[in-house]
Amino acid sequence: MAARIIPITIQRSNEASSTASEKSASPPAPPSTASSTEMAANSRAAPISLVRNRSIEDFNEQVVNMLDDVEKRVEQLRESASNLEAEKEQILDMLNSVSLNTELLRLGQGKYSLKFSIAQIFTTYA
């Protein structure tokens, strides 16, 4: 299947053509002559200042130290998480034990009430 090429012509409106002629008449000022207020108006606000006022080696050393601190903190958090997990398991075991003891106590109470009912029956009919 052969590709079909469709020619397209673009027409400009009168306003666009007049602004285009004005732009060609006065060339834009070079960036070196732009004022600092114009440059400040066009710049974006950054949340972090990324200005480096030391050597690359000092900057790299600072980044490595920061990463070491982060790694230590992550290790501490992992240890805390494992301790919390162990504590959670202990609490769950205690809850299961209490639940089991409660069920045994309830069954034991049923046994005593059954003996009491049997004793009442024998005394009533005796």
Sort residue 125 into left (φ over 0), alpha (ψ -120 to 50) or beta: alpha
Does the pTM surpass 0.75? The reply is no
Tokens of 104: 């045994």
pLDDT in tens, 71-105: 999 999 999 999 999 999 999 999 888 888 887 77
User: Please, are residues 49 and 56 in contact by the beta-carbon 8 Å criterion?
Assistant: no
Q: Which residues of the chain have pLDDT under 70?
A: 1-53, 108-120, 122, 124-126
User: Please, are residues 59 and 52 in contact by the beta-carbon 8 Å criterion?
Assistant: yes
pLDDT at 31: 45
pLDDT at 19: 47
Question: 10 Å Cβ neighbour count for 16?
Answer: 10
Give start and end residues of each alpha helix (H) in 26-126: 36-42, 56-125
Q: How far apart are CA 62 and CA 56, in angstroms?
A: 10
User: ∠69-70-74 over CA atoms, to 5°?
Assistant: 120
